[in-house]
Amino acid sequence: MATHRHINGICVCITLLTLLLTALFMNGKALGITPVAGEENSAKLFTENDCNAAWDVTGATEITLADSGSSVKGNGAYVTGDTVYIVYAGRYRLTGALSNGSVVIKAEGDDKIWLLFDGLSIHNESGAALLVEQAGKVFVTLREGTENALSCGEAYDEQAVAAGVDGALYAKDDLTINGAGSLDITADYQHGIVCNDDFVITGGSLTVTATKDAIHANDSVRVRSAALTLTAGDDGITAANDDESAFLYIESGEVTIPACCEGLEAVQITVAGGNVNITATDDGLNANGYSGNSAITVTGGEITVTVPEGRDADGLDSNKDITITGGKLLVSVSDGGGNCAIDYGSEYGGKCTITGGSVLACGSSGMAEGFDSSSPQGFVMQSLTAEAGATVTVTDETGEELLSEVVPCSFSSLLVSTPQMAVGESCTLSVNGNETQATVDNTGSTAGAFGGRGGFGGLGDRGGALPGSATDGATGEAPTPPGGGFADHAGNAENADSAALTSSSSATAPAANAPASEPASAAEVTPPQGQPPTDFAQNGASDDGTRPVLPQGDAAFGGEQGDGTFGGRGGGRLQGQTGDLQDPAGESQQSSAAAGNPVTMAQLLWLGVSVLVLLAGCLIALFYKRRG
C-alpha cells in the first residue's frame, strides 16, 4: 500500500505539526498572536482585597503573643517555643509582644491569608520577625488606631542566611499592607521589607529604618493612599529582578525618604500622584537596566528631590527616557562633582520630554541636560549660579508669577518649565531678586551669573543640552554604543540588578483613589495615566476575588476543638478556615499566580488541537503497523 510505504513521512509530518501547535500555544504572544481573552486582569494594579481593610474578627483565629507563653485560640496556627506558625488559609488576629521570636507563615501555595495587626511587637535577634515561607498571598491589615512594630538584630543565624532571608519582614510570595494603623520596622541586619513577588501598600502609616534597602521587591512595588517614611543605608524603594520586568508605581499617598543612597530605583518608575520627598546621596530617582526600556514617567503628584552632596549624583536618572506629562517637580542637586539635575540616555536614543506639569531643576552645569527641543511645552535652560538656599522666581511678560521655589543646594544650571510658558514669549528669571530676561525657545541659552561662582560659556543649539553631552554636535544624532547594547549611563555598578518594562504614554486618566475601607470595584482600578504598560500579564495584580466570609466559632482539627496547640500540619483541611476559600458567590478564589495569568479559551483550544493531532498520528501509525 502507498500509505504504508509513506508511513514514516506521515508520522514525521504529524509530529512536526503537533510541535508547531504546541509552540503557538506556549509562545503565541511572543510570536505576535494577540490573545482574545484574559487580558483584563493585567490591567489591574490594585485588587479589591488590596484596598479592603474592613475586618470582622468574628470567626478569626486569635493569636496572642507573649514570651514563652504565646497562645492560639482557633485553628490554622500553632506555637513552638517563641515561634508561631500559621499553616492554613484564613483570618488571624495578632496581639501582644515577643522580645525574641517570630511569626512564620508556611501554608499551601494557593492559600490566601489575612493578618490583622492589632497592637503587636515582634523582635527577632537572629532572623525575620515575620517570615512568609509560602502562601498564595498575604494581606496585613493595620487596625485603626493601633501601633505595631517588627524588628531584627544585627546578624541572622546560619539557617536564615542559607535560605536567603534578609529582611525584618520577609515574604517569598505576594504581600499587601493596608489599614489605618501604623507599622514601624527596624532592620539592623539588611533590608526592612523584602518581597520576592509583588508588594502592594494601600493604606496605613509605615516607617522603615534599614541598614540597606527600606523596601526591596522582585516584581513590583505599588503604592496607594499610604504614608511611608523610609530611612535607608542604600535604596529607599527598589524593584528589581533578573529579567528586567519589575516596576515601581506610586498612585497616591505620601512617600518621604529623609536619608538614602538612592531614593526610588527600578527600570520603570511611574509617579501618577501623591507627594514624594527624597533626600539622597546618589540618584533621587534611578531608572536603571540594560534592555532599552528604562523610563521615568511623571503624570501627577509633587516630587522634591534633594542631593546636597556626592559625586556623579543625579536628581532624575534614566538610562533611556524621561517623560513628564503633569505634576510638580523640584530637583536640587549640589553644584560640582559632575552632579546633574536631570540625566537621561540621550546618547542611546533616549529623550526627555515635557507635555505638562511644572519643573524647576537646578544642578551642576558640567553635564547638564534639558528637555528635548520637540517637547510641546515651553522651557528655558540657563547658566545661572547661586549658593544654597536661593529663591528662584519665574514671571511671565505681564509680571504674573509662574513659579517660585527655595532651592536647597548651590547650582550653576537652571531648567524651568510651566504650562503657561509658550515658545517665543519672554519671561523673567529672578534669583534672590537678581532678574534676567529670557526667551522661551526650547533650547539652551546663556545668562549672567549671580555672585560668587561666576558663569560659563555659551550653550550649543542641541535641543536644550548644556555642553558636555555625548550627542554628536554635528548631526544631532546619538552615537551607537559598542555592540548595540545600552550601557550604564549613570555609571552605577548597582544598575546590574535592575528591571525593565515597556513605557506607556497613552494610558487613561487616573482613577479616583478608593479609601481603604471602601474597596474599589474592578472598574475603579483601571490603569491610571502613566502606569506601567499592560502587555505583560505579571504586571497586573492578582485577581483575589472578594473577602471570604468564614463560619463563626472554632472548628475541630483532629483533637480538641479550638485548643490551637496541635503540632505540625496534621491530617486534612480545617473546617471554618479552609485553603479553598469561597466568596459569597460560591466561586473558588484562584491563587495569585494563576489569576494574574489566566489560561484563555483560545489557548485551551490550541492545546486541545495539539493533543488531538498527536493522538491521531499515534492511531494512524498503530493502524498501519498492524496491517503491515
Scanning the structure block, which residue is given the C-alpha cell 517614611? Answer: 229
Output the pLDDT for position 588. 34
Measured distance CA(32)–CA(380) in Å, rounded: 43
- Other C-beta atoms closer than 10 Å to the C-beta of 435 total 10
- Other C-beta atoms closer than 10 Å to the C-beta of 405 total 18
Query: The C-alpha cell of 237 is what?
Result: 524603594
Is the pLDDT score of 478 beyond 50?
A: no
Output the pLDDT for position 258. 98
Q: What residues make up the domain containing 22? A: 2-37+607-627
Output the pLDDT for position 40. 29
Is the pLDDT score of 194 beyond 80?
A: yes
Output the pLDDT for position 292. 84
Mapping DSSP onto H, E and C, the string for 419-431 reads CCCCCCCEEEEEE
**What is the value of pTM for the model shown?**
0.70
* 333 falls within a domain: no
Q: List the one residue out of 236, 119, 219 whose CA is nearest residue 179.
A: 119
Output the pLDDT for position 44. 81
Displacement of CA 530 from its chain's centroid (Å) = 13
Is the pLDDT score of 575 beyond 80?
A: no
Measured distance CA(64)–CA(76) in Å, rounded: 14
Q: Report the pLDDT averaged over residues 600-624.
A: 70
* 126 falls within a domain: no
Q: What does each C-alpha distance from 106 to 78, 172, 192, 548, 570 come to in angstroms?
A: 11, 10, 20, 20, 13
Predicted confidence (pLDDT) per residue in 133-147, tens digit: 999 999 999 999 999
Q: Dihedrals φ, ψ of 256, to 5°? A: -115, 125
Output the pLDDT for position 499. 33
* 62 falls within a domain: no
Q: Are 288 and 488 in contact, with CB atoms under 8 Å apart? A: yes
By three-state DSSP, how is residue 607 classified? helix
Q: Report the pLDDT averaged over residues 253-265.
A: 97
Report the amino acid identity of residue 132.
Answer: V
Output the pLDDT for position 548. 39
* 565 falls within a domain: no
Q: E strands of 37-76, at which residues?
A: 61-65, 71-73
Residues 6+ apart with CB under 8 A from 79: 70, 71, 72, 85, 564, 565
Is the pLDDT score of 330 beyond 50?
A: yes
* 135 falls within a domain: no
Q: Dihedrals φ, ψ of 607, to 5°? A: -65, -40
* 263 falls within a domain: no
Output the pLDDT for position 8. 67
- Other C-beta atoms closer than 10 Å to the C-beta of 579 total 20
Q: Report the pLDDT averaged over residues 275-286.
A: 96
Scanning the structure block, which residue is given the C-alpha cell 551607537? Answer: 480
**For the residues of 497-538, what is the DSSP string, one character each?**
G-------S-PPPPPPPPPTTS---GGGGSPPTTPPPSSSGG
Band the pLDDT of 11: cuts 50, 70, 90: low
* 24 falls within a domain: yes
By three-state DSSP, how is residue 151 classified? strand
Least confident of 2-6, 64-68, 83-87, 436-440: 2-6
Mapping DSSP onto H, E and C, the string for 333-387 reads ECCCCCCEEEECCHHHCCCEEECCCEEEEEECCCCCCCCCCCCCCCCEEECCCEC
Q: Which residue has the higher pLDDT, 545 or 270?
A: 270
| Count of structural domains within the chain | 1
Mapping DSSP onto H, E and C, the string for 470-493 reads CCCCCCCCCCCCHHHCCCCCCCCH
Output the pLDDT for position 280. 96
Band the pLDDT of 626: cuts 50, 70, 90: low
Output the pLDDT for position 482. 30
Output the pLDDT for position 348. 81
Band the pLDDT of 38: cuts 50, 70, 90: very low
Is the pLDDT score of 353 beyond 90?
A: yes
Q: How many CA atoms lie within 13 A of 384 on its CB side?
A: 28
Return the ∠ at Cα 426 (arms to 423 and 431), rounded to 5°: 120
Share of the chain above pLDDT 90, in %: 57
Predicted confidence (pLDDT) per residue in 486-536, tens digit: 233 333 333 333 333 333 333 333 333 333 333 333 333 333 333 343 333
* 479 falls within a domain: no
